[in-house]
Structure formats: structure tokens, C-alpha cells
Structure 1
């Protein structure tokens, strides 16, 4: 087999394996990465490098592997946007966190969101308490959207992140 075709096939195989692994083991958005997630990504990238290029350590091999990843990512995103089945399987759906002041604790637990993180998002939206929230949604991009009953408040969005002081505990 042509070594360049081999690199393309290996790169595509690794790409789809990583998509599947992220689907099975959790899909955190970049705004949600903590130190352990970053270390995992770096280690995974190092571990799959040889699987993509094999013994070919040439510049051409590296560029071809990167190009194959860009192309397969572009095509996969188009497929996601064109197929409802694939979109439903790959992308999560928005989740209700608070409805009419009632916190959905089961949903918080399922998503791994602490009450403190939810309270922080509520405060960042200028709302005093979860009792004043008409609707809080965990969006597919990792944002927590808050809609309050107060028409005078400016609505913002909250990127879920781990606060520095919480990391030190």
C-alpha cells in the first residue's frame, strides 16, 4: 500500500476512534476543561501520533496526517449538520437545570454540575436566587443560560469553568 494512503487511513481511523471515545466517556466543551482534561488531551495526542503516521516521521507524513484530520473533521461536521440521526448521537441536547425556581438536582448530578457552580452562574446573570429564575439551561456548548422573571435585567451567559480558588482545595 502507498505510504501516504496508509497515513490518511490511519489518521481517519484515529479520528473516528476519538469521536467515539469522547462520546462514550464524556463530551466536555473547551470552556469546561480543567487541568486533568488538558493533561489527558496532551497524552492522547502523543499516544495516537504513531498510530497515524506509523514509522513515517517525515515532514510530508506529518502534514498529510494533519491535512487528513482537517478534511475528515470538515466532512464529519457537514455530515452532522445534514443528518439528524448523527447530530442526535454526537451532540448533546440542552438540559433544563431550573424551571420556575425549582432546581433539577437529578439533571445537575447527571451533568456533574455542583450547586455552587449553578449559584455562581445565577449570580453572574445578576439574579439573587434560584427562586427568581424562570429557566436555566445547560446549553450544548457548555454555557449555562439563565432567564429570570425580571424584565429589567440584562441577560448574559456563563461559561462553565472551575474557579481558581476551587482548584486549590
Structure 2
């Protein structure tokens, strides 16, 4: 089997097409994760999760030869990292953009009362809520002054004064 070394290091797809494909894929998935799958992101930040998923696919395609050329994969990976860095930079630099890029925490318990509308919107069942509270060693919802669902899907609990601390 003869290896065509030149084809490994020349573009097999026009660079602008790779850049546009990478950009549109990143921005689509960013919006999807930002607005739809909020509570499933886990402890990873949105941008971290997105970059891992897309780069894994892009790198796999580059290594497996679907692009034919290694530089095709490198350009696509560079585009994805560039958008990740760019959105993080914009979020850091501009508070207005940060409000778009980072979901605000959602109050799901207020003064010992669960906020049913917020729980429905986030698709959190009573069983899931109780399991989340148990992770914070809360047995009774009345012990909770406030609980927020954070942008990364984690729960932050502020107990009422006089209740046992974790």
C-alpha cells in the first residue's frame, strides 16, 4: 500500500468551507446547549462540554481520513477552539454578552416552597428534586431558604438559619 504523502498535508476541502462548517456547527450546538439541555451539562461548563464533543468528532474524522487531509482536521479544530475562546473572551469583557452566553441561575425553592413553574420549565420531577436535596443533606424542603439550579446543572442550597449545616 503506497501512501500519498502530499494528500495528507494539503486541503481536500476548501478552507473557507471548513471554517464555515465549524463555525455554524459550534454556534448551533452552543445555542442548543445554552437554551435546551441546561441541567444535563453536569459539572463541566457549557463551553468545555461543547468543545470536547465537537473536537472529538472533528479529530476522529481527521484521523480516520474522512477529510482525506490532516490539515482539514487541524483547521476545523482551530475554528472550534477559536470560537470557544472568542465567546469566553466576549463573556469576560462584556457583561451584556455574558448575560446572553451564560444562563442565569434559576430559583427552584424559595422560603421552603418549591417553585413549580421553574421546576416544570426545567423538567425536574419531585423525585429528582428530593434526590438533589439529599445530596446536600436536606431532608425537609422547609429547611431551605433558597435553592438555585446553576447554569452547569448543579444545585446551590442556602439553608434557613438554625438548620443543620452540611
TM-score, normalisation: structure 2: 0.69
For 1:5, which of 5, 10, 16 is the aligned residue?
16
* Residues 92/21 of structure 1: CA separation in 2 closer, same or farther (3 Å cut): same
Give the CA deviation at 1:21: 3.9
- Give the root-mean-square deviation of aligned CA atoms: 3.1
- Structure 2 unmatched runs, 5+: 1-12, 44-52
Residue number among 72, 75, 79 corresponding to 2:86 in the alignment: 75
Asked if 1:124 corresponds to 2:140, the answer is no
Provide the C-alpha distance between the structure 1 equivalents of 2:106 and 2:74, rounded to a whole number of angstroms. 39
* Correspondence for 1:167: none
Q: How far 1:91 moved relative to its partner?
A: 2.0
Report what 1:106 is aligned to: 117
**Structure 2 counterpart of 1:66:** 77
Q: Matches of 2:111 and 2:123 in 1, distance apart?
A: 21
Bigger radius of gyration: 2
Divergent runs of 4+, >6 A: none
Q: Does 1:17 align with 2:28?
A: yes
Question: Are residue 139 (structure 1) and residue 150 (structure 2) matched?
Answer: yes
CA contact (8 A) 2:110 2:147 kept: yes
Distance 1:25 1:99, change over 3 A: closer
1:88 to 84, 87, 99: 99
- Cα displacement (A) at 1:145: 1.1
